[in-house]
Each structure stands twice: as structure tokens, then as C-alpha cells.
Amino acid sequence: MLQRLNTGKYSPILYPNPYFNIPKHFKECDLYLTLIMISRRKFLAVGSLASASVLSGDKTLAKSINTDLIKSPIVISTWDFGIAANAAAWEILKNKGRALDAVEIGVHVPEADPNNQSVGYGGFPDRDGRVTLDACIMDEFGNCGSVAALEHIIHPISVARRVMEKTPHVMLVGAGALQFALEQGFKKENLLTPSSEKAWKEWLKTAKYNPEINIENRLFSPAKLPGNQFNHDTIGMLAIDAAGNMSGACTTSGMAYKMHGRVGDSPIIGAGLYVDNEIGAATSTGVGEEVIRNVGSFLVVELMRQGYSPDEACKEAVMRIIRKKPETAKQIQVGFLALNKKGQFGGYAIQKGFSFAVCDHRDQKQLINSPSYY
């Protein structure tokens, strides 16, 4: 920044605080400057990353530090089955549809899949043999809707949207949520499939409730490793549309064989999902109790507001869980996924095995294995 001297020349002015007001005498100058304020930390970080990417030829790294605003839609979602969900969302986004519509239709795919035993139809029941579903949705205006412990409705995400748009409330639960869904025209159905019922009856022989790391894979075969197509868990989806607006959705049938009435992070705004159209959005997966205790998704978005990249923000949220309960963290899985306003994305998990799907105009079937602490 320059100041005009009596000689008519200009010399630098150094301000220790980057959040300064322009001195009045600048308004009298015939030189008009565009002020770009970059913190020393971010300047050095970007510079070192850019240098590293050039020297190593790492195009992915160079792309990750691109600060240009997003020029086209993008949708990301948790786990491998997010590829199919993203494809449904992309049909709306590529035609300049709204991000809110895209995330709702996108998560309909796993909700209706009887082979996905942790989301919607076919989900594992609670210990009493009842399938209860949780979901929430949030738009670019900060509007949000949620349902918890909802039974007999295949698409809880759509009920959550109705709560947002048709009521003065944010969340409806249990019998009240079902009553509202039926009043809105949703069909009452049996969500317990024969395969999930068989697994539940097998579980009853020991009735041991002990959440396991990436249990979704263990349910099938030890040969089916974490991160492949058999890895099923909560789906969280985040999107930016052609207008640059963001929305998100999160839906699950919760932990298998949980106590009846148990609710995890998925339907909790700020825990399982949070969207701030000025900054970015985040969602979570894994053991919901720990996400709730740390208000995980809200934390990730607020860290991005402070200048963290999406992957850095997800990592810090995971580290808070680990620092608070180091022994517990060794036995559980929690993962975060984030998307900022620029279209940059990232994820981080406690344990190996967390993957997420990315869909944009370049590639509609990207699958990324998230970094992890362990």
C-alpha cells in the first residue's frame, strides 16, 4: 500500500493489522488502489504448496489451491454408493436446477435401495426389530428441516424437506413425524426386508451391542475391504448449483440394533449437516454420539470461515474428537466431508476406510479414499 509524499511520489505504508480502514487522505489521491488482504499464514502456505506442485508436477495439488470461484456445479457425497446418488443429483445440476432439489433426489437413491442396509428401505432395525430413520436437509437461505425416529416412510429426506417448507418447525420425531408424513401424502410401508430381518434374528442370539469400525464391511466378508462397493453407511450429500448456491442433505437408518428411540447425528443440524451459503458446507458419518458432542459439521464450516481448507477443517474436527477421547477414538470411526464456496472439497476420518464420491462437469464417477489419523 502506498502513501503520497509532498514530492508527488509514493512510498510504502506498512500496517501491522490487516483489517484496517483506508485513511481519509487516500480519498484525495489521484491513485486508486485495489486492496487485497492476504494473511501471512495463508500467503506462505499457498506459495509453498504451489512451488511444491510445480517442482513435483503434481497437478492435483496445484488444482487444490486454485482460489477462483467455482464456474460450474459440483456434488459430493459420502461412501462408494455416493457415485449412484451423485449421478441422480447431477441430472438436476447439469440442467441448471437448484442444489436443494439435487441433494434431495440424489439421496433418494440409497434410501430406496434394499441392499443398502444402513439407509432407508432395508436398513437394519433397532434391537426391537423396528426400522427407524433419521434425516435432515438445509438450503442456501439457512432454512432447514429434520425428522428423527421416523418409521414406515421410504424417503425421510423428503419428509424433512416438507417440515422445512410446510411447518414453522425444524424437527419432528417419532409418531409425530409419521403422522405429519401421512398427512402430506407419503405412503406407509414396511421397511424391514427379509435379509435385514434375518440378520436381526441372528443378532438376537447374543444381543451384543458394540459399534465396530467400518462394521458395514464386516457384515459381508473379511475379504471385502473398507472403501469398496460394500461399504455402506450414512449418506451425506453437499452440492453447489449453477447459480453458485449450496445445499446439503443427510439420511440414515442409524446404528444397527440400537436402543429403540436412539438418535444419532444425522438429523441434527450442526452435527450431521451444516450449510452456510457464504462459506461452505459439511457433513459427517460414523458414530454420531461423538459428532454431536463436538457439533462436528458446524465446527468444520466455522473453521473454513477462519481460512482453513476443507481437508484441513475436516482434519481439525477429527482431531478434537481424538484429543477429547483418545481411547474411545481407537475403537470407532468418524469421518467428515466438506465443500467450500469455491468448489474445493476434502475429507478426513479417524480410521482408514472412509471414501467419498465427487461429481462435476469433468468426471461424474470420481471416488476418493479419504486420509485418516490411523
Share of the chain above pLDDT 70, in %: 74
- The CA distance from 272 to 294, in Å, is 11
109-146 pLDDT, tens per residue? 999 988 777 788 878 899 999 999 999 999 999 999 99
Find the helix packing angle between 82-93 and 99-111, rounded to 10°: 150
- The CA distance from 369 to 225, in Å, is 12
Q: Could you say which architecture CATH assigns to the domain 74-369?
A: 4-Layer Sandwich (3.60)
260-304 pLDDT, tens per residue? 999 999 999 999 999 999 999 999 999 999 999 999 999 999 999
Which has more pLDDT, 319 or 205? 319
pLDDT at 211: 56
- The CA distance from 89 to 104, in Å, is 8
Q: How far apart are the first and last CA of the chain?
A: 46
144-169 pLDDT, tens per residue? 999 999 999 999 999 999 999 999 99
Q: Pick from 176, 134, 175: which is nearest to 157 by CA?
A: 134
Is the per-residue pLDDT at 346 higher than 50?
yes
Share of the chain above pLDDT 90, in %: 67
The active-site residue, picked from 78, 234, 251, 285, is 234
218-268 pLDDT, tens per residue? 443 334 433 333 444 689 999 999 999 999 999 999 888 899 999 999 999
* 234 part of the active site: yes
Residue spans per domain, the chain: 74-369
> Where are the strands (E) in 26-143, listed by range?
74-78, 133-138
pTM of this prediction?
Answer: 0.78
pLDDT at 209: 63
- CB within 8 A of 202, min separation 6: which ones? none
Mean pLDDT, rounded, of the chain: 82
HSE, side-chain direction, 13 A CA sphere, residue 108: 13
Buried b (16+ CB within 10 A) or exposed e, 65-93: beeeebeebbbbbbbbbbbbbbbbbbebb
Reported as a pLDDT band with limits 50, 70 and 90, residue 213 is: low
Q: Pick from 190, 191, 169: which is nearest to 180 by CA?
A: 169
Grid cell listed for 5: 509524499
